């Protein structure tokens, strides 16, 4: 075979190879872009959900282990009492709000494997069941539809899409507006002043389930210290 033909064939093969390589590389780049966009979208729900779970766990810990009720609800002044009641109700609502947003917007948070996704769904269902069960006394019992109603009440539309309202906005929403589920949560917190024991079982199980959720969402303790995630 003539040298010039061999050279031409090699050049053609190289050209085809380059085209194929470029196509593969281009596809990989596109896949990486899509993956990065997906991760950004997911973090917009995963991180607030983890924060809401941590905040609620911390409040329950303060109620059951740090005498929050005795110090500020039973013996506090008017401002301290109002804070404990309203902020505790808000922290429950905040968790339920991000749970509802997760369900609405992406159905579930894809954590990178089917097993992790299943685990997340199971933990969210477990927390919902703890809220709704009649195995424990009534304080903080919310049926599934009521949980969603509380979450829906705290949704607002911000510049980046739907999100949970802040505590200040929550307080303003209480002014002259009646929401039976939010009002019920506030009454439940207030009732602990007279009978803390009535709420202990449900709150304990909620706190422990929230830690399991945090262990899944923040397994390397990047955002929330291990020492502050002790089960009751």
Give tens-digit pLDDT for 100-157.
998 887 665 666 667 887 888 899 999 999 999 999 999 999 999 999 999 999 999 9
Q: Does the residue 11 lie in any domain?
A: no
Residue 3, pLDDT score? 67
pLDDT, tens only, 157-189: 988 889 999 999 999 999 887 889 999 999 999
In a domain, 146, yes or no: yes
> How many Cβ atoms are within 10 Å of 40's Cβ, its own excluded?
9
Answer yes or no: is pLDDT of 44 > 90.
no
Calpha distance 164→184 (Å, rounded): 20
Buried b (16+ CB within 10 A) or exposed e, 142-173: beeebbbbbbebbeeeeeeeebbbeeeebeeb
* Residue 141 lies inside a defined structural domain of this protein: yes
Domain tally for the chain? 1
Are 203 and 140 contacting, i.e. CB atoms less than 8 angstroms apart?
yes
Taking only Cα atoms into account, the Rg of the chain, rounded to an integer number of angstroms, comes to 25
Tell me: the pLDDT tens digits for 188-212? 999 999 999 999 999 999 999 999 9
Write down the pLDDT at residue 167. 98
Residue 22 lies in a domain: no
Q: Is residue 13 part of a domain?
A: no
Q: What is the mean pLDDT of residues 11-17?
A: 64
**Residue whose C-alpha is closest to residue 152's, from 163, 141, 143:** 163
pTM: 0.82
Q: For residue 179, give its domain range.
A: 42-228
What per-residue confidence (pLDDT) applies to 176?
82
With a cut of 80, say whether residue 60 has pLDDT above it.
Answer: yes
Domain-embedded: residue 157 = yes
> Which pLDDT score is estimated for 213?
96
Asked whether residue 103 is domain-assigned, the answer is yes
Confirm whether 171 is domain-assigned. Answer: yes
Would you state the pLDDT for residue 24?
67
């Amino acid at each position: 075979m003539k040298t010039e033909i061999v050279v031409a064939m090699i050049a053609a093969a190289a050209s085809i190879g380059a085209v194929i390589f470029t196509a593969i590389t281009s596809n990989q780049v596109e896949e990486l872009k899509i993956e990065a966009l997906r991760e950004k979208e997911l973090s917009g729900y995963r991180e607030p959900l983890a924060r809401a779970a941590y905040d609620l766990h911390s409040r329950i810990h303060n109620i059951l282990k740090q005498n929050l009720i005795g110090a500020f609800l039973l013996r506090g002044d008017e401002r301290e009492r109002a804070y404990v009641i309203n902020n505790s109700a808000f922290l429950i609502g905040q968790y339920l709000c991000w749970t509802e947003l997760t369900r609405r917007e992406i159905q579930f948070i894809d954590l990178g494997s089917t097993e992790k996704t299943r685990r997340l769904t199971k933990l969210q269902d477990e927390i919902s069941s703890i809220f709704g069960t009649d195995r424990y006394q009534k304080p903080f019992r919310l049926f599934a539809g009521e949980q969603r109603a509380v979450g829906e009440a705290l949704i607002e539309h911000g510049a980046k899409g739907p999100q949970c309202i802040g505590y200040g906005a929550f307080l303003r929403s209480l002014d002259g507006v009646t929401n039976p589920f939010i009002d019920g949560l506030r009454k439940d917190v207030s009732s602990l002043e007279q009978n803390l024991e009535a709420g202990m079982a449900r709150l304990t199980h909620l706190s422990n389930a929230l830690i399991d959720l945090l262990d899944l969402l923040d397994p390397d303790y990047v955002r929330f210290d291990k020492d502050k995630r002790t089960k009751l």
